[in-house]
Structure 1
Amino acid sequence: MISLLNFTILILSTTIFLCVYRAIKGPTISDRIIAINLVGTKVISIIIIVSFIFHESYFIDVALVYALISFSASIIISKTIKEQ
């Protein structure tokens, strides 16, 4: 079971690099925002998987705080772009 979770973390990490590439190369600003949101979501997933592997529940709290910060940043960036 642990090896499956480790493989999942490896796949998620690979797709994070692909999303970062899209965030840098994205033809439009909306592509970049979506890529950054995907990176945040994948990082949250990795944190929760690590929490399951180590049997530590405080990682869930860290993931929730990270999700709130990521959501707030997305809203602020979207409002900033809309004003321009």
Structure 2
Amino acid sequence: MLPETFFVATGIVLGMLTFLCLYRAVIGPSAPDRVVAVNVIGTITLVILVLFAFIYGRTLYIDVAIVYAMINFLSTLTISRYLEKGRVTG
């Protein structure tokens, strides 16, 4: 299998998974399900950024992916804390 074919197939699979998670985020039965779905979408986006970095040989995509991962993690923590306690701060 050619590397280009592998990357295209991986991109298609990740795109389909993103749409499945988007469906779960919109229709999800509860708020925690929606939070997990949005977190998975963020993780898939992160994988796509790293895939772009590998394909194009640009380290800038890795830097963007690291920052995006930190923002994704912090937003998930904040939303989870809000859902649990009803407020964000202490």
Say yes or no: TM over 0.5: yes
**Which TM-score applies when normalising by structure 1?**
0.95
Number of positions where the alignment pairs a residue of Structure 1 with one of Structure 2: 84
After the TM superposition, list the runs of 4 or more consecutive aligned residues in structure 1 that deviate by more than 6 angstroms: none
Aligned to 2:6: 4
**Alignment partners' CA distance in 2, 1:3 and 1:47:** 18
Mapping of residues 33-44 of structure 1, within 5 Å: 33-44=35-46
Q: Choose from 74, 77, 80 the match for 2:79.
A: 77
Residues 27-77 of structure 1: CA deviation (Å, up to 9, x unaligned): 011111110110000000000001111011110000000000000000010
- The alpha-carbon deviation at position 2 of structure 1 amounts to 1.6
Q: Are 1:64 and 2:66 an aligned pair? A: yes
Q: Which runs of 5+ in 1 are unaligned?
A: none
Distance (whole Å) between structure 2 residues aligned to residue 83 and residue 44 of structure 1: 29
Does residue 16 (structure 1) correspond to residue 18 (structure 2)? The answer is yes
Aligned to 2:27: 25
User: What is the percentage of aligned positions where both structures have the same residue?
Assistant: 36
In structure 2, stretches of 5+ residues that fail to align are none
Higher helix share: 1
